[in-house]
Structure 1
Amino acid sequence: METTKTQPDTMMNAEPQKEHQWLQKLVGEWTYETEAMMGSDQPPEKATGAERVRSLGGLWVLAEGQGEMPGGGNATTMMTIGYDPQKQRYVGTWVGSMMTYLWLYDGELDSSEKLLTLNSDGPAMSAEGKMAKYKDVIEFKNNDHRVMTSHVLGDDGQWHHFMTVSYRRKQ
């Protein structure tokens, strides 16, 4: 009697590929400083914190952050990022202790392999009950310094930068 498999062997015995190896640069202990635009007529708010990024089987990175929120209060965040060879896309999630929304990431690495752009849909900051498109761009300046910029697609069809987070590896 012949049996059929519901999943290819690679689903259960995945080996890290070059895309997974790129994510391993994130692994480590980091401090960060956030600068967030709270409104066009207000100065940017700053906040600081720390992030611990670990690898899960060389296929995923798990980033747990603890720190201040721009505008006050403390937050814990968790981000996961991996690479899905079938989709040929980076995938992941983001959650924070300050909100109930689960952000789903879909992204790609640029040809220089320095910019990882993660796209997501989430609650609009401009109106209750409305959704908006977002993108977070992670750029490695060097092995010990990375910057993430966050953008939202406005009603005007333009991407608007609203937050920058600068991470420095703890020595």
Structure 2
Amino acid sequence: MKTEALKEHQWLQQLVGEWTYESEAGMGPGKPSETFAGTESVRSLGGLWVLCEGRGEMPGCGMATTLMTLGYDPQNKRYVGTWVGSMMSYLWVYDGSLDAAQKVLTLNAEGPDFVTEGKLAKYRDEIEIKSEDHRVLTSHVLGDDGNWHRFMTASYRRKGSD
């Protein structure tokens, strides 16, 4: 049952390491953006998965811990993963793909609408590799107007790369 790492799995390994992040998030229509910061520790699981554990401030929630898993499903030729946070009970499930330049991993998910309680919305997270020591996560939500709206951007820098 042993699976050999493919180039898609190897792409994820560039996320492994210790990171700090600074983020800005929109808090809803008519509300000002908030900034927050934290750290993330990313480790490899067998060269096939990465486990990304974040700790930091979360707007409206105080300190929080998050855990993202990312891998690649060779059968479906799609990146897959999950995201959970200590501030909510929802399990986010990712399905995504890498752009042709192999710089942006786009992950799609469905989750709680942050505006209308009890409603689900479509989300898109993009992990863009800027350099070996810098990446940017941008989160979007699909609005009722049919357009994607950016609500959060986080800039990650590898510790010790300054």
Query: What is the Cα deviation at residue 70 of structure 1?
Result: 2.0
Distance 1:40 1:121 in 2: 20
SS in 2 for 1:19: helix
Q: 1:31 maps to which residue?
A: 20
State which of 147, 153, 158 in structure 2 corresponds to 1:169.
158
1:125-149 deviations in Å (ceiling 9; x for gaps)? 1201000000000001101000000
- Percent identity over paired residues: 70
Q: 2:92 maps to which residue?
A: 103
| 1:43 and 2:32 matched | yes
Q: Taking structure 1 as the reference length, what is the TM-score of the superposition?
A: 0.92
Q: 1:153 maps to which residue?
A: 142
Gaps in structure 1 of 5+ consecutive residues: 1-11
State which of 68, 72, 89 in structure 2 corresponds to 1:83.
72
> Would the aligned equivalents of 2:105 and 2:128 in 1 still touch at CA under 8 Å?
yes
Q: Taking structure 2 as the reference length, what is the TM-score of the superposition?
A: 0.97
SS in 2 for 1:40: coil
State which of 34, 51, 68 in structure 1 corresponds to 2:57.
68
Distance 1:120 1:71 in 2: 22
Q: Answer with 1 or 2: which has the greater Rg.
A: 1
> Would the aligned equivalents of 1:34 and 1:70 in 2 still touch at CA under 8 Å?
no
Number of matched pairs = 160
Gaps in structure 2 of 5+ consecutive residues: none
Distance 1:110 1:37 in 2: 26
- The structure that is strand-richer by fraction is 2
